[in-house]
Amino acid sequence: MLWLKNETLVWASSALAYLTLTVALALTLAWLLKRQRMSSLLAKIPGPKSHIIFGSRPDSTTAEDRIQWLIKTSKLGEVVKFWIGFMPTCMICSARGAEAILASQRHIDKGTNYNFLRDWLGDGLLTATGSKWHSRRKLLTPAFHFKILEDFLDVFNTQSTTMIKQLQEKADGKPFDMFPYITRCALDVICETAMGRPVNAQCNAESEYVKAINTFAELLIKRTTTPWLRPDWLYTLIGQRKEYDACLKVLHDFSQDTIVERRALLQDSRRSGEKAEEQEVFGKKRRLAFLDLLLEYSEDSEKLSDEDIREEVDTFMFEGHDTTTAAMNWVLYLLGHHPEIQAQVHEEMDSIFGDSDRPATMDDLRSMKLLENCIKEGLRLFPSVHRFARTPQEDVRIGDYVIPAGTNVMIFPYRIHRDPKQFPDPEKFDPDRFLPENSKHRHPYAYVPFSAGPRNCIGQKFAQMEEKVLISSVLRKFRVESTVPRESLKTMDPLVLRPKGGNILKVFRRA
């Protein structure tokens, strides 16, 4: 009987091995067939030459060379294919292509590069997908209602006043870099509106939080653009993991500590029967922040954990900092090259404010029609988020091409915004493009600085308000001249599109 038992075990082991091998072969065959189909479809899409191992990206990975390579490659067609190693990417360079991706409720999964943001942002609104994204978007939309945004106007005005005082010292006609001044102001704005907690970046650029957010951004850019630093184990082995983790700890601790403090304030106000916004903090009426709204949502309706709240606050910090900074700098750079348009903006400011130093109101912002069009035109030429990605889970047809499911798809607003059919003489700075009579027949996806469709930027109204207040504050007091000619301008693409070497301006006090 023993031999029968042994024979049975041998048979069972052989059967298991055969089954395992069959399953492995079937999965391999399925993968090969899928890969062959993907390669066949991608082969029909134009693109640069590709190396079998290294792909078709440029040899240099500097921020300057990367954007120049993308701009050059984008001229190959409305859909362009290139390879990053073994991973294919399809770049969308037309309004029609952008609509096919962005208008769909099915193509909402973000591209693979967004995974690197999860260490900081977790599954916040920017990185979440599926049912979690839908529920969070629905929950957070009321936080960006017009009446709530109006309460942030005082922050915009206060912080812009601080920036103007610092710029007074630079208004001697000597060239200097405007970028850091606007960056620190925008950081103060976003910290106070998101968390209700100032970091005083404009007065203390060496604060721990300010240094951590700047260092983390640099490390993140380096990691995402260096192929061998992408895997976690390699980054731990040969990367700057220790410094990376130290920055993350500062960022997360700051957010978590603020959540604890603001939750305690909220509970105190409820016990006293006093409205949160009527409380005084440091002798001033307490202003509701984005964080306060999330805390109220977590107690009044859908439960959010402190970790959920931290994810959303950190996401707001990330999305609302560098993007608005870049946009404002580009507008001032362009106006500095077009004194005739800048003079018209000065006239608009004078007609609204006269000689007054009073803070801007919502009615004032609504009256800034020309400045609004200048901001829109600045975002057309130099969109802060000049590329963003999706991973569609089903095939997408754009004209004669089919992008197979699972392909990384890059939307490239920098090229989309330069379509001469949609924007004649596309390199010209012309704010009148956005007058109603000039834009009413334009393709709805020809201009996508805030993305579009169901996953458009939830904070775009906030950004537009902030940009109007800060830029108008500068132009009420100063005249600017740009020192770097357009033909000599070099751009970089770290997390946002920015000028290499900063935004070098001359600033003069207005008479």
Residues of each annotated binding site for heme: 457
Could you please report the per-residue DSSP string of 304-368?
Answer: --HHHHHHHHHHHHHHTTHHHHHHHHHHHHHHHH-HHHHHHHHHHHHHHHTT--PPP-HHHHHH-
Tokens of 155: 């922050």
d(CA 299, CA 407): 40
Residue indicated by tokens 């943001």? 117
DSSP for residue 274: -
Amino acid at 478: F
d(CA 208, CA 199): 9
Nearest to 386 by CA among 177, 146, 74: 74
DSSP for residue 288: P
Q: What 3-state DSSP class applies to 396? A: strand
Give the H or E element holding residue 216.
Answer: helix 208-224
d(CA 165, CA 78): 47
Give the H or E element holding residue 508.
Answer: strand 504-509
Known binding residues: 457
d(CA 371, CA 357): 18
Could you please report the per-residue DSSP string of 407-427?
Answer: -EEEE-HHHHTT-TTTSSSTT
Strand partners, 481: 506
User: Helix-strand-coil percent breakdown of the chain, rounded to 5?
Assistant: 60, 10, 30
Tokens of 158: 């206060």
CA angle 122, 125, 126 (to 5 degrees): 80
